Chains A and B, each alone.
Chain A
Amino acid sequence: MSSYDALVIGGGLVGCATANYLAQAGLSVALIEKGNINQEASGRNAGSLHFQIEHRQIHHAQDLDSELQYCVSLAQLAIASWREIETELETNVDLAMDGGLMLAETGEEVSLLEKKAKLESEQGLNVQLMDGDETRRLAPYLGEHIKGALFCPDEGHCNPRLLTPAVARQAEKNGVTLFTRCHVTDIRRANKSWRVTAELNSNNTNHETMSFEGSIIVNAAGAWAVNVGRMANVHLPIFPVALLINVTEKVSPLIHHLIQHVGRKLSMKQVEDGNVLIGGGWSARLPQQRGDWLSDSAELDINAVRGNLQTATDIAPMIKQLRLLRTWTGTTGVTPDQLPIVGEVSQAPGFYVAAGGSGFTYGPTYARLLCEMITRGEPSFPLTPYSPDRFSHMNMFMG
């Protein structure tokens, strides 16, 4: 039985960052990951850093004024944190924050952008409305028919292949013990602490069983957070959703901004190495076996690939000259209200969750605030809207 102050389950960005911050605060921390560090969504996403407000929220603006205010304030926190990330991690992660353009192709979409611009500016987010010509001056490869864009100078991207491993390295330096290929199988409450059982190298026939003990558990298991919650007898409404990303051959620098679209599913960027990444929420299919999702075996649907690439080509015609090199899938965790779950489950004291939401853009921020909540009792920025207790009606008899 290994005892730690905190047991963090999940070796993605949120898990590694939380473990790192907890260790910096003086706690002894074990990070338990069923596969390899950064193997799942954290390492497979497109690396977008997007701070503009989502489409969904604009539609219900009247009802969600305070939510908007909250989102913009959190965005500002995240922006500040990203600007410092390479200094903090003491390494290059291909960070580029040269701005994002959310495009409009129709008059209706332009109106949406105008509405967004007004609301976001009111809340203090730095955004700038541009017409078609201005947009094309900034991004000449965009089609003649693009009617306008909302420019957010702080948006951008970084390299998900480099980021989480760098966080993990720093976590280790700060004293976190990493257990990989270590699959949690049981979580139990014992007096004031938690007991976690895990199988090391569970793929091999001679796997070892490990036992951990800690007063704090952080469930940072992304698409698998619901499984981890189940083991602790807690309902967590996080559902695995598989998405696809397309990557093209390398090309000389052309696209300098994060490209998004206000009316269509699209996210496009060009990475440091030259490849263009095209995604934006297009689905892949999760197979199921006896009613369980096989969350690490997402299957591609070629129609979704075509749909995604057609959208990209529609807004930037030169894209079609490029070779598609690879399409891959990743599984992320999505909550019913699309907001993350960050905080303590009241019915299960010491059981914290940090999953869902925009786990890449806001991952380090969620982690830092959660760590403050754990170590100081209260985060420096309120996490109430993200509390697991908004689902407490599910967990009245759990924990």
Chain B
Amino acid sequence: MATRISKNVERGDTVNIAINGETICAYEGETLATVLLLQDRLAFYETASGHKRAPFCNMGACYECRVHVEHDGRRQWVLACMTTIQENMSVTTGLQLPVLGNTPDAS
């Protein structure tokens, strides 16, 4: 399990997000990758043949940290290492991606 470093760090306000339906409290400025690792979630997404994948590069190059996120009425996968948590984000891990939502017709 990953842990936060407490020495010499003062974190900001807390943010609530949902991970697989469970409400988790984390800190402003933390990335989804950080929060998922702190929650011991090592299956960020699943490949077509059923293998779990997790962060590798932590800089937005490898595309191994993809997670499904719903926020503000939108759903898409994002790179967890490049996405800062926002209040009411809802994350679902371990899915085959993309998961398409019902899109209203272009008006």
- Chain A residues in the interface with B (C-beta under 8 A): 143-145, 249-252, 254, 274, 313-314, 317-318, 320-323
Contact = CB atoms under 8 A, between A and B. Distances in A.
A389 B98 CA distance: 53
Interface string B13-40: 0000000000000000000000000000
A143 B76 contact: no
Contacts of A254: 100
A313 B107 CA distance: 11
A317 B106 contact: yes
11 contacts: A143-B105, A143-B106, A250-B48, A251-B98, A252-B96, A274-B48, A317-B106, A321-B75, A321-B76, A322-B100, A323-B98
B79 to A, nearest CB: 11
B103 interface: yes
B73 interface: no
B104 to A, nearest CB: 7
A314 B100 CA distance: 17
Contacts of A250: 48
Contacts of A251: 98, 100
Contacts of A249: 98
Contacts of B100: 251, 254, 318, 321-322
B9 to A, nearest CB: 35
A271 to B, nearest CB: 13
A261 to B, nearest CB: 15
A312 B103 CA distance: 14
Contacts of B101: 321
A254 B75 CA distance: 18
A317 B104 contact: yes
A321 B104 CA distance: 12
B98 A321 contact: yes
B103 A318 contact: yes
A323 B99 CA distance: 12
A254 B48 CA distance: 15
A250 B49 CA distance: 13
Contacts of B98: 249, 251, 321-323
B47 to A, nearest CB: 10
Nearest to B98: A251
Contacts of A322: 98, 100
Contacts of B48: 250, 274
B106 to A, nearest CB: 5
Interface string B70-107: 00000110000000000000000000101011011110
Contacts of A314: 106
Contacts of A145: 105
Contacts of A252: 96
Contacts of B96: 252
Interface in B24-74: 48
A143 B103 CA distance: 10
Contacts of B105: 143-145, 317
Contacts of A274: 48
Nearest to A313: B106
A335 to B, nearest CB: 37
A321 B106 contact: no
Contacts of B103: 317-318, 320-321
Given A313-B106, A317-B105, A321-B75, 5 more contacts: A249-B98, A250-B48, A252-B96, A320-B103, A322-B98
Contacts of A317: 103-106
Nearest to B77: A323
A15 to B, nearest CB: 35
A144 B98 CA distance: 23
Contacts of A323: 98
A194 B104 CA distance: 63
Nearest to B74: A321
A313 B103 CA distance: 11
A317 B76 CA distance: 15
A215 to B, nearest CB: 52
